[in-house]
Amino acid sequence: MREDRLALTHVGEHQKEYQNAVVPPVYLTSLHIFDDMEAYKQHKESGAYVYGREGNPTVRILEEKVAALEQGASAAAFSSGMAAAAAAILAVCKAGSHIICMKDVYQPVKGILNGYFIPKMGMRVSYWNGQSLEELEGLIREETALIWIESPATFVFSAVDIRGIAKIAKAHGIKTYIDNTFCTPLYQKPLTMGIDISMHTISKYIGGHSDIIGGILVVKDEALGEELRDHIRQWFGGILGPMEAWLAIRGLRTLELRVERHQKTATAVAEFLERHPKVEKVYYSGLASHPQAELIAQQQSGNTGLMSFTIHGDERKAMELVNHLKIFEIGCSWGGFESLALCPLINVEKEELDFLSLREKDRGLIRLHCGLEGTEVLIEDLRQALEQI
């Protein structure tokens, strides 16, 4: 935690380089100039900044901080979480590659695999339920290049065995990717458990104020880091903007304090819901009753503010409940200061529910993000809304 706190506050910052300003500037520049042609000729060796699509000093500070938090060798920041996700596939895979992807991943990832990488790049994808390691091993083929996981995943908060997966992947020379957004780099360190690429959506807790979109990849292997930063990001042009990087740096300074509070509130809210007679089932990775509590304790040192639950009654009743909430706003994101509620599965086809091994009942799943308005206020809001249905 000591190192984490230093990363949140000081790592990557060099006040002497900017007039001893305690807060680093937003380098709003697309270009860096040179004293003479000799300096330009040497720019690769000297590591000088050249052009904003390749790198930016404010973005670099953010990258150094998140790399330190994840105990990685380097990081590359992108203009969105999805830009980061796509860059990881582009760096690791080629036409014809096979990917093993967990079924319960962030939905747009399946969109980009099924809608682009399979039809346009001739890749193959096997979807895996995330649970049986034997089944995972059985899916591996000659062309398998990447195993894609998310833990805990954000519909029903099931965890996957990160160390077990990394071990199998290593034995077969396959790269592994995890979406680590839910835990933040504070509460889960996948690179220390053998994962190759850890991704965070800056748009969620790192930004923390619902005012930026961004993503970041962290790796242990510097060669892969260079491929991501100096090739894929530069060629496809997905670098994070300097203003967003500056806001993310500011977000990091309070990350520990914020996620502690999100966790404390969410735990109390989940326990309240679990005891409520109108609630059928609560999904929160921080509950003592979580069926994978032991695995979660082995790989996470905390949980954050996101959970879901079902009520007794159909999806119309669930929508009615959400409509009665006054503090929880209706919205699809999370990780900001504000509490949010949504029925994220309201429109999905029956086939998709089956694919995700969810029940017809889960169509009425209510997802909550517990923000920073205070535990009592949020519990009271849920209590009054539950009373009205």
Residues at the site binding ligand PLP, with contacts judged by CB under 6 A: 80-82, 106, 154, 179, 181, 201, 203-204, 213, 215
Which residue of this chain has its Cβ atom nearest to ligand PLP in the complex? 81
Q: Which amino acid is at 265?
A: T
Instruction: Please identify, using beta-carbon distances, which residue of 81 and 364 lies nearer to ligand PLP.
Output: 81
Instruction: Please identify, using beta-carbon distances, which residue of 279 and 371 lies nearer to ligand PLP.
Output: 371
Instruction: Please identify, using beta-carbon distances, which residue of 179 and 385 lies nearer to ligand PLP.
Output: 179
Query: Least CB distance from residue 24 to ligand PLP, whole Å?
Result: 23
Query: Least CB distance from residue 303 to ligand PLP, whole Å?
Result: 14
Three state DSSP letters for the chain: CHHHHHHHHCCCCCHHHHCCCCCCCCCCCCECCCCCHHHHHCHHHHCCCCECCCCCHHHHHHHHHHHHHCCCCEEEEECCHHHHHHHHHHHHCCCCCEEEEECCCCHHHHHHHHHHHHHHHCCEEEEECCCCHHHHHHHCCCCEEEEEEECCCCCCCCCCCHHHHHHHHHHCCCEEEEECCCCHHHHCCHHHHCCCEEEEEHHHHHCCCCCCCCEEEEECCHHHHHHHHHHHHHHHCCECCHHHHHHHHHHHHCHHHHHHHHHHHHHHHHHHHHHCCCEEEEECCCCCCCCCHHHHHHHCCCCCCEEEEEECCCHHHHHHHHHHCCCCEECCCCCCCCCEEECCCCCCCHHHHHHCCCCHHHHHCEEEECCCCCHHHHHHHHHHHHHCC
Q: Which amino acid is at 132?
A: S
Query: Least CB distance from residue 109 to ligand PLP, whole Å?
Result: 7
Instruction: Please identify, using beta-carbon distances, which residue of 11 and 233 lies nearer to ligand PLP.
Output: 233
Query: Least CB distance from residue 276 to ligand PLP, whole Å?
Result: 26
Instruction: Please identify, using beta-carbon distances, which residue of 12 and 215 lies nearer to ligand PLP.
Output: 215
* Closest CA relative to residue 196, chosen from 180, 213, 182: 180
Instruction: Please identify, using beta-carbon distances, which residue of 180 and 267 lies nearer to ligand PLP.
Output: 180
Instruction: Please identify, using beta-carbon distances, which residue of 80 and 279 lies nearer to ligand PLP.
Output: 80
Query: Least CB distance from residue 331 to ligand PLP, whole Å?
Result: 12
Query: Least CB distance from residue 336 to ligand PLP, whole Å?
Result: 11
Instruction: Please identify, using beta-carbon distances, which residue of 56 and 184 lies nearer to ligand PLP.
Output: 184
Query: Least CB distance from residue 378 to ligand PLP, whole Å?
Result: 20
Query: Least CB distance from residue 223 to ligand PLP, whole Å?
Result: 25
